[in-house]
Amino acid sequence: MTDRAATDAALIARYLRGDMAAFEDLMRAHEDRVFAVCLRMLRDREAALDATQETFVTVFRKADRFAGRSAFSTWLYRVAVNTCYDHSRRTRRHLAEPLPEGNDPADQSAGDEFRAVELRPDLEAALAALPAEFRAAVILADVQGLALQTVAEALEVPVGTVKSRVFRGRRLLAEALGNRDAPSDTPSGEHHE
């Protein structure tokens, strides 16, 4: 168990015993990443803020359902993705225009600080055009940098399904971005495991 997972488990236990400050600590530790996932899934800042809030309200109400079979963050990502799916179904919105520069949260997985400020608008638009299940897998694996096993747990699908969704999502992204060297039809070795 990682230090973060152990800290989260302790905070959940304290919250379930009635310590409200523990929930606030848990929320502060994860709210930026949850917002980043919601923003990438919904492509609308206000909708992402609403989905982030709704995610934490759900966690607040259903924390006793967290069984501890996976890391709390994995369960939290699952709640966030489901919340985004629900929001999309409820609103039936058309794809939004790319966000104005400066509104996007930092990309935690980028190594270059200048590049981490935001993803390119053309990449944002290509991500938004992906089918929802591919977009969720690509965002969690490639943007958030989660291991494929963690993504599988968060999306409640087998690892092979995650590999397929990430591969297909990457291929669609490459095609949308005009990459002539788009991946072939067979997945190669994955680097997230």
Question: Cα(12)–Cα(29) distance, rounded to whole angstroms?
Answer: 12
Q: What is the mean pLDDT of residues 139-158?
A: 90
Q: What is the CA radius of gyration of the chain?
A: 17
Q: How confident is the model at residue 27 (pLDDT cuts 50, 70, 90)?
A: very high
Element (H, E) at 153: helix 148-155
Q: How confident is the model at residue 93 (pLDDT cuts 50, 70, 90)?
A: very low
- The amino acid sitting at 150 is T
Least confident segment among 39-48, 64-73, 92-101, 129-138: 92-101
- The CA-to-CA distance between both ends of the chain, in Å, stands at 16
Helix axis angle, 3-16 to 20-42, nearest 10°: 120
Q: Give pLDDT, residue 183.
A: 55
Read out DSSP for 86-137?
HHHHHH-PPPPPPPPTT-SPP-TT-SSHHHHT---HHHHHHHHHS-HHHHHH
Q: Are 132 and 85 in contact (CB under 8 A)?
A: yes
Distance of CA 21 to the CA centre of its chain: 25
Tell me 166's DSSP state.
Answer: H
Least confident segment among 41-50, 103-112, 114-123: 103-112
pLDDT tens-digit readout, 28-71: 999 999 999 999 999 889 999 999 999 999 999 999 998 888 89
Q: What is the mean pLDDT of residues 111-126?
A: 59
Q: Give pLDDT, residue 120.
A: 66
Please report the domains of the chain, with CATH numbers, ordered by start residue.
1-95 (1.10.1740.10), 110-193 (1.10.10.10)
How many C-beta atoms surround the C-beta of residue 78 within 10 A?
Answer: 18
